[in-house]
A and B are shown apart, each in its own frame.
Chain A
Amino acid sequence: MKQEQRKSWFGHFLYSTRRKLILIVTLILSLLCFGTFLGVNQIMKQDRYETLTKQYYYVNRQMISAFEKISEELDQLTEKYILNEYVQKTLTNQEITASDLEMMKKSLAFYNRSYLDYYLVIDNKENLYSQRKVTLDFEKFRKSQIYKGFGDHYSKTVLMWTRDVIFGTNEMSFFVVRHIRSLNVNHEPGMLILKLNENLLDPVKDSITDDQLSYFILNENQEVCFSRMPGGARWNPEEAGNREILQNVISRQDGVTENTDWSNGIVSWDHEENSCFTVVTYASKEVTDAVISKIQGMMLAVFFITYGVAVVGIILFSSWFTKPIQYISETMRSFDEHSMGNRIDLNTNTELDEIGRAYNKMVVRVKELMEDVKQKEGELRESELASLMYQIRPHFLYNTLDTIYMLARIQKEETIMRMIQSLSRFLRINLSNGNEQIETAKELEHVSSYLEIQKIRNADLFEYETHMDESVASWRVIKMILQPVAENCIKYGFCDIEEGGRILISAGREGDFLVFTVENNGTPIEAEQMEKLNRLESAPLGEMDEILPYRQGGYGIRNVVKRLRLRYGDRVRFYYRALESGTVCAIKIPVKGEGGDGNE
């Protein structure tokens, strides 16, 4: 039963056009998405290194660009110091007066910047000029990285990250150094040293847009002078992973842009040409994978949006398309003899309208055919009956039976007299001058005549009784519906007895029904046979012959049920019930009103 339900649901599911479309679209899009997903994933895996390194190269270039701006800014700042009138004056042997020193301080104070901590001007006679008190051991100074930074450049601005051995902090700091050359006369150059703070790197920090990456700036000795880690973590050079990151850079520095991909992520670096600083960008494995996941997520999102749009589209489109089909389908499914008046009313401007019109024509045609068939059947029956009547020639038959009755009376043959009398009554009611319907009382008289004849024939095999509610005596009913039932009582009910049989026939009223019962005390009807007979009242008319084939002797009963259903419709009841000793058959015929013609 469950399997049947599943089949039915699946059949219904497949039967729906909308669902079929959704199923197809789902399959196509899923295949497409799956294929694209796999393809893109494959391609991305292949191109991941190239793509990401390009991206990180761009990030590095941004930082380098910011660094170049810093270099330009420092170039311009140191220009001011070098061209300062008083600074130039320190290069000559001219005496620097206290007033000059004051003016120098004041004018150099104008060059203050947020990233500038201190300046130091050392003239070519090793005099020091600074806003701080600075004492310098020149022997040590000449060995320092700061002094070496001047190199043999004529007047190049050099930025460096080194230890502060001048201003007393002894901390690693940014310094910018530049020779101070005389504008007019050939002198030994002086030296300009500016100590800078971390504000110097503000442009570099501002150029950082991706917080998921790690950024480093290394000086030429591969010392980290700037770091920024994801989530604000602090750079710890002692950590093993961290050492590995920079080792990748340090071991492969060759002055050009490089990238390396290893199991822990991608390291990308670039050199700032003027300052020899190296900008390093590190993307951990998690970050590089996140990029792929993000793209895949985007793909899935696009797929689901596309799928959603497609499904909504299908629903909207199919509802416009399938609603009329469902309407046609339901109308056709509910088609029977009671819904002949139903019509399909469609106005979709599609071929469906044509189907609706064709259906309507078909219904009209079917109704016409059914009425035609019914009329022809009636006419045929009446014609057959008239033919029989003509063959029988009832008056001749009745006169002959009367003559026989008179001869039997003369010879005092009472049994023959009863038999002739019953036969004559049986035939008279049987023919009824060709009428299809007779009064209920006549129907009881007809079956009584039949039983009287059978009683004489079967030598006291059974007795019979009839009872009738007088109120239904005049109700008209189709004739010969009790005789086949009574015949079966004798034929099957009393097949196992020689005498003592009893048949009780009654006619009465139950509500809106005229009720006949035929009961016998013979062998109870077999269950299988009773089930077949009881199905006759509800089985399709066309299938009745299959339930009770003619060869199995059910013709009489089947004929009775068929005539009753054709005449009175499906409210007619006809059923058998096995009793403890015997069988009862009930026939219930619906009536419209009291007093005659109760079934029309």
Chain B
Amino acid sequence: MNNSVIVQGVSKQYGSKKQPVVALSDISLDIATGELFGLIGPDGAGKTSLFRILTTLLLADKGSATVAGYDVVKEYKAVRKIVGYMPGKFSLYQDLTVEENLHFFATIFHASVADNYHLIKDIYEQIAPFKDRRAGKLSGGMKQKLALCCALIHEPKVLFLDEPTTGVDAVSRNEFWDMLQLLKKKGITIIVSTPYMDEASRCDRVALIQNGRILQVNTPEAIISGFTQPLYAVKAPGMLSLLKQLHNTPGVLAAYPFGEYHHAVMQPGVSLPFLGKDAEVKAVTPNIEDCFIQLMQHHA
């Protein structure tokens, strides 16, 4: 079994027939065993719907999907035995202690904490000093770690993490991704969704998703090298007027604020004209966010 997750032509709509809300339209994906795969897109892109279909919580309107070889509809019971799932909302029992939560989740998956402790050791050690504390009284970062332990304790083959880093500060986000790298080494296929574009670089491959459609699937490096137009970072006093100036400059395909600079995408072969003596201009390599913006505009 080389592919851990296979999605073929999955579509999903919500709402009434008159006013359907398209959550997913014709999604196809192959995720290899042992891969750390990122599903990157804003809220409402369809990430959670796709996760729920893959974790057998939701039925697709069209298309099919398998997880570790099991069909998510016909063999949903088998799928439920081998996946670990961490929903977007903190979903542990707030009135149970850290330890009680962990043991409870182990038991319902017919597993024992002792048998699989090696999987969670690195993470659990950080929250072990608080093992008698109720989960509801934990800090945000610790809740997240406990939730990850609970999703891992039955040694799942495939781990689904739905927006584990949303609303988490940059430092904690970094730590979380470090933990995922360690888990990947243990051979678990990990599928993570996130709205933070900068996290793409931490994944083996990513799917950029927007309005229920996949814009692109590839390694972060390949996505970036697919951005062929020249890109410049521009800075000058009076950033707002600079942006207007860029929008009116011939040859500029797109211009948008990017941190302390503006990014200007140029038509290939056209160079950026002189923008004033105070302007700082430099050619830059695009990052995933540039690619996402460009892909969004292509699909609009």
* A and B: bona fide binding partners: no
